[in-house]
Amino acid sequence: MERIVIAGGGLAAARTCEQLRSKGYEGELVMLCAEPHPPYDRPPLTKAALVEQDHDPTLPTDYAKLSVDVRLGVSATSLDPASRTVRTTDGELSYDALVIATGASPVRLPGPGRQLTVRTLDDAARLRAELKPGQRVVLVGASWISAEVATAALRHGCSVTCVEAGPAPLAAALGPTVGARFLPWWAEVDLRLDAGVAEVTETGVRLAGGEHVDADVVVVGVGVRPDTAWLEGSGVDVERGVLVDEHLRASQPGVHALGDVAVRWSPRWNGRLRVEHWDDAREAARVVAAVLLHDPSGDTPPPVHDPVPYFWSDQFGHKIQYVGHHGPDDTVVVRDGGERWAAAWLAADGRLTAHLSVDSPRQMVDARMAIEAGARPDEAALRDLSAKLAPPRTK
């Protein structure tokens, strides 16, 4: 391959460049980075970047040393797999292999009012400038991002209100039983549960029931949508994101995808996953580089990307770590230990599918190993936080 083009300019794109060079690729590498900034870490955007004026999350990748043609402010606009050509805001670009890493964009709400989201470095800078003592901040959605923004806003002395359509914080992601355990953390926030937002107005938000909540700043954190509009008509299969197999290969030859934009097949879970987290993007880059350089004439099959998902969140002075992937029919077990607690999810056959740890990194490590091994812990014993996960028992 003489030229590999990477559409996207985030962690997945930067790591893919690093991995390709470390594995011996000597051809041309072109990165289409839609933002005016080189790739940076996104997790700090709702944490340190909202508190520290000079925080710089830029990734330490040396693109000159790696001979990467980084095209800042250039984005892909359409794709023609037949001629292996990407059309961009700066003209056409041919490729031998294409890696799609365009990520996702925040969902926005209807209404004429100004609404902030936190997805980019510039987003974080704009919001940080708004977080001043006495400012009335309204958060839409008691999500992971909103909890982190609330933490920063309270630290700046803002008055914070959060409007959540569900019965508890994080209920959509973790279920109402686990979500209710977070309620004490939101004590300094005016938390409005079971309240949908009809629109963002010029002076705040109007709720579905007609009530108006005044705000100086409205921050929306209700999810993201993969950036796939530019792939329309390309023949690349898209469904909630770019569909890829366990080798991160898309439906068109020479096209791969990873990160927030990808919906990958998981043999481990026997289904498709869209894992919108830092850890998955980092590890996927290692695999996609190896797949791109794989020799199909050899006896070794291409590598598989199918890790146990993992992510973390820092909010209200606590660190939350979630590992695994639970389904809607899994049984949730709340693990009590006095002031400390955790949660585990069990499949119908008793397998541990996911685990949520609070301020306990060691629990996360143990849970990840147990999930990888197919452990079936005793449900009754699991309710005690001090109990060890059952010895791994494979299928």
What is the pLDDT confidence band of residue 235, given thresholds at 50, 70 and 90?
very high
Domain ranges of the chain: 3-103+227-293, 107-223, 317-383
* pLDDT on residue 381: 85
* pLDDT on residue 394: 46
pLDDT above 70: residue 294: yes
Query: Tokens at residue 220, please?
Result: 């929306």
User: Considering the entire predicted model, what is its pTM?
Assistant: 0.94
CB-based contact 108:190 (threshold 8 Å): no
Q: What does the alpha-carbon distance between residue 154 and residue 166 come to, in Å, rounded to a whole number? A: 23
CB-based contact 389:377 (threshold 8 Å): yes
Place of tokens 């890829």: 244
CB-based contact 334:177 (threshold 8 Å): yes
pLDDT above 60: residue 390: no
Render pLDDT for 340-363 as a digit per residue (tens, 0 to 9): 899 999 999 999 999 999 998 888
Mean of the per-residue pLDDT values for the chain?
95
Render pLDDT for 149-184 as a digit per residue (tens, 0 to 9): 999 999 999 999 999 999 999 999 999 999 999 999
What is the pLDDT confidence band of residue 391, given thresholds at 50, 70 and 90?
low
Backbone torsions φ then ψ of 352, nearest 5 degrees: -75, 120
Q: Average pLDDT for residues 202-227, to the nearest whole number? A: 97
pLDDT above 50: residue 293: yes
Q: Average pLDDT for residues 128-147, to the nearest whole number? A: 97
Render pLDDT for 295-344 as a digit per residue (tens, 0 to 9): 888 889 999 999 999 999 999 999 999 999 999 999 999 998 777 899 99
Q: Average pLDDT for residues 3-21, to the nearest whole number? A: 98
Regarding predicted confidence, which is higher, 251 or 384?
A: 251
Q: Which of 110, 99, 107 is nearest to 76 (CA)?
A: 99
- The dihedral over CA atoms of 247, 268, 240, 87, expressed in degrees to the nearest 10, equals -10
CATH number for the domain running over 317-383: 3.30.390.30
The CATH T-level fold of domain 3-103+227-293 is: FAD/NAD(P)-binding domain (3.50.50)
* pLDDT on residue 296: 86
What is the pLDDT confidence band of residue 392, given thresholds at 50, 70 and 90?
very low
Q: What does the alpha-carbon distance between residue 382 and residue 368 come to, in Å, rounded to a whole number? A: 15
DSSP string for 285-333: HHHHHHHHT--TTSSSPPP---PPPEEEEEETTEEEEEEE---TTSEEE
* pLDDT on residue 204: 98
Looking at domain 107-223, its CATH architecture is 3-Layer(bba) Sandwich (3.50)
pLDDT above 70: residue 207: yes
* 317-383 has the same fold as 107-223: no
Q: Which of 218, 261, 224, 229 is nearest to 243 (CA)?
A: 261
